[in-house]
Amino acid sequence: MKNVFGLKKTVLAASVIAASLAPAIAAAEVSGTLGASSQYLWRGQQLTDGAAVYGSVDYAHASGLYAGAWASSETDDTEYDLYAGFGGEAGGFSYDISYIDYNYTSGGTGATDPASSADFEEVHVGAGFAGFSADAFIGVGEVGHGDNAVDNKDNYFALGYGYDKYGISAGYYDFDGDPEVDGTLADYTHVDLSYAVTDQFTFTASKIVDQEDVAGEETWDDDVVMSVSYEFAL
């Protein structure tokens, strides 16, 4: 779910919250999605050299509990994410807390960068009101496995606003460690703009607007990443 939230993850969080708000008449609901995008865009980063296909299967209970699995193609790899949580709404205020487990078929023993093929986990806490949203993704457990594993202390935070078919969000990735000493990524901030032509067809533009300067490390401040996605329910 390098996503699906963040903002794929944010998008996914919103979708599972919506699913959890189904009428109490339906005690439980199973749903699925299939989609494709011109780029795998995640938290301001472009994770594929070209198009990606993805899909999900979700279970939502009227109580607000939900669980699901999400998978996507990546360059030379496949990602699959497992998640479970609780969400709801009261007086126009929405809330969600969930656990997300990111996995990679390459073995998940990559470097400490969560944008690499290293397995990792996060706890997500989100809230929304009147079109505004706030999300925090807190790193837990370890990044990678075996001798390459390190404690996951990387955190990601996002604020967003949506009106009609338009959306804007800003995210900040706070990486643990000193990039000049241990080679971790430099902290950065990015902004996403999105336009939903239909419920299935969405354009997104993302730009990293500020990244810590680190000697010898490439920065992406000048890059604008565009993505077009199409998703439909099964």
Domains located in the chain, CATH noted: 8-233 (2.40.160.40)
Q: Is the pLDDT of residue 5 over 50?
A: no
Render pLDDT for 117-151 as a digit per residue (tens, 0 to 9): 588 999 999 999 999 999 999 999 988 877 778 88
> Is the pLDDT reported for residue 14 higher than 70?
no
Distance CA 189, CA 211 (A): 6
Q: Per-residue pLDDT averaged across 167-172, rounded?
A: 97
Enclosing H/E stretch for 133: strand 132-140
For residue 169, CA distances in Å to 3, 89, 103, 172 come to 14, 21, 26, 10
Token pair recorded at residue 191: 């902004």
Residue 187 carries which DSSP code? Answer: P
Q: Rounded to two decimals, what is the model's pTM?
A: 0.83
What does the alpha-carbon distance between residue 112 and residue 106 come to, in Å, rounded to a whole number?
Answer: 15
| DSSP 8-state secondary structure symbol assigned to residue 5 | B
With a cut of 80, say whether residue 94 has pLDDT above it.
yes
User: Is pLDDT at 216 greater than 60 in this prediction?
Assistant: no
- Among the ranges given (77-86, 197-206, 220-229), the one the predictor scored with the smallest mean pLDDT: 220-229
